[in-house]
Amino acid sequence: MTIHIGAQKGDIAETVLLPGDPYRAKWAAETYLSEVKQVNSVRGMLGFTGTWKGNRVSIQGSGMGMPSLSIYVNELIRDFGAKTLIRIGSCGAMQDSVKLRDVILAMTSTTLSTPSRGILKELNFAPCADWSLLQAAAQAAQAKGTPTHIGGIYSSDVFYDERPDLNEQMVRHGILGVEMEAAELYILAARHKCRALAVLTVSDHLLTGEALPSADREQSFGDMVEIALQAAFPNAA
């Protein structure tokens, strides 16, 4: 048990999927896993462990923003032995070629700052995905036929951004989409020698103003979950 995760030692699998939304964790666990057990409810940040095609996997909500994700990922790695961490999140598209409900595999994540800024100091560390996960996710997405984009994303500290000039630079430099957690996930994974990837579904479009309702963000991003599971267990039949 930790301060924020009420699970017992051994309750959490080495592979953990991390949606920001705890109710997406519940939906994904109930929809895709077998032998599901709820392992966390502290602060309503639901976590579940079950099996997928015989492989043990946990799905733990990580909350919104990098400070929140940092708490859960630190505890998952240090106290529960997590080794493979895959974010399954929503994001806003920043390119015309990226459409609503498309999947983005975040190869890198640009950010202004993360909770790790204090230790990285003046270093502009480049947060990047684990290659084996990225490659397996790309193959899984191709096999499913899901419209998928692979490249850089932007991890922002704000949802209601009042820096249009910054977004303009992101768009201009080919950033595919914006979300709020991947950069710190990648930095923590690098620090602790774990594997990490962010698999995202486009829920908003910053260029067209389109936006999906909250129920869709909670319960309809199935391709993203299946791609993440297949990437974690590429040999699962």
Where on the chain is the footprint of ligand URA (CB under 6 A)?
90-92, 159, 178-180, 203-204
Output the six-digit token pair for 92.
């806003």
Placement of tokens 């129920």 in the chain:
215
- Contacted by 218, from ligand R1P, ligand URA, none: CB < 5 to 8 Å by type: none
Does residue 143 sit in helix, strand or coil? Answer: helix
Query: Which of 11, 21, 130, 204 is labelled catalytic?
Result: 204
> In a 3-state reduction of DSSP, which class is residue 59?
strand
When asked if residue 90 is in the footprint of ligand R1P (CB under 6 A), the reply is yes
Closest C-alpha to 219, from 26, 52, 81: 26
30 or 168, CB closer to ligand URA?
168
User: Which of 159, 168, 174, 207 is close enough to bind ligand R1P by CB under 6 A?
Assistant: 159
Pick from ligand URA, ligand R1P, none: which does 26 bind, CB < 5 to 8 A by kind? none
User: For residue 166, what are the CA distances in angstroms to 94, 175, 179?
Assistant: 12, 11, 14
Instruction: State the DSSP string of 192-222.
Output: TT-EEEEEEEEEEETTT--B--HHHHHH--H
Q: Which is nearer to ligand URA, 91 or 98 (CB)?
A: 91
Binding-site sequence positions for phosphate: 20, 24, 43, 87-90
Decide if residue 47 touches ligand R1P (CB under 6 A). no
Residues with active-site annotation: 204
Binding site for ligand R1P (CB under 6 A): 19-21, 64, 89-90, 159, 179-181, 217
